[in-house]
Amino acid sequence: MAEQDTEGPALLRLADRWLGYVENGANLIAALAIFFLMFVGVVQIVGRTVFDFAIHGYIDWIEQSSSLFAFLGIAYAQRLGSHIRMDITLGWPTRVRWWIELFSVALALVIITLLIDSSFANFLRAYRIGDSTMDIRIPVWPAKLMIPLALSLLWCRLVLQVCGYVRMVADNSRTPVAVPRLETIQDQVRDEIEEALGRGELADRK
């Protein structure tokens, strides 16, 4: 039994590590897309104000590239547990909190599965009819394809988290694998103090 428990976390750690590499790459692409949009926005504003010059199809390019930074980082954020959430269970027993996390992630997995199906159907429709933007006729199917791809990455992360939460529900004394760390009230207060004062200043005061 102990041998199975050792192999299980090892496989889970391996899957978590490799999926993390993909999530980091997708998040990097999203960050570069934001930087590119900022650069293009500055060029557009300065060009129109100073040189009476505008980027042709600016709105169309912005609309199509928005799918990159809007969706490619969601699996990365899910891995870190950095999505907006209500921490009303901080004082509850640890096992109850693991159960709640398992339920919420399992529910999210069902919803994301449905969204992948519908978003992929939307991509297929745009591809088949040759849908394009209104101004400069950019094909919209690449942007729409980004949505099911990003959601599929999130789906893989949620599957790993379901496995990780099942482990913790079975025995909450285990080391969490592939799931965010559960914060206590003391952890949250310490993090807020460090964020307000800065980690270096807090270390000096200690």
Q: Tell me, what's the pLDDT at 4?
A: 45
Q: Tell me, what's the pLDDT at 184?
A: 60
Query: In this predicted model, what pLDDT tens digit does every residue of 97-112 receive, in sequence order?
Result: 889 889 999 999 999 9
Query: In this predicted model, what pLDDT tens digit does every residue of 152-168 receive, in sequence order?
Result: 999 999 999 999 999 88
- Over the range 69-107, which residues count as b (16 or more CB within 10 Å of their CB) and which as e? bbbbbbbbebbeeeeeeeeeeeeeeeeebbbebbeebee
Q: Rg of the Cα trace of the chain?
A: 22
Q: How far is CA 35 from the centre of its chain?
A: 18
Query: In this predicted model, what pLDDT tens digit does every residue of 58-69 receive, in sequence order?
Result: 888 888 888 888
Instruction: Indicate whether 17 pLDDT > 60.
Output: yes
In the chain, domain spans: 2-205
Task: Tell me the C-alpha distance between 178 and 194, whole Å.
Answer: 25
Pick from 72, 37, 56, 43: nearest CA to 143:
72
Tell me the β-bridge partners of 139. Answer: 132
Instruction: Indicate whether 2 pLDDT > 50.
Output: no
Q: Give residue 23's pLDDT band: very low, low, confident or very high (50, 70, 90).
A: very high
Q: Give residue 27's pLDDT band: very low, low, confident or very high (50, 70, 90).
A: very high
Residue with the bigger pLDDT between 137 and 151: it is 151
In this structure, what token pair is assigned to residue 38? 């900022």
Contacts of 2 (CB under 8 A, 6+ apart): none
Pick from 92, 146, 91, 86: nearest CA to 116:
146
Provide mean pLDDT across the span 25-51: 88
Instruction: Indicate whether 203 pLDDT > 60.
Output: no
pTM of the complete model: 0.80
Residue with the bigger pLDDT between 180 and 110: it is 110
CB 130 within 8 A of CB 139: yes
Q: Tell me, what's the pLDDT at 6?
A: 47
Residue with the bigger pLDDT between 133 and 193: it is 133
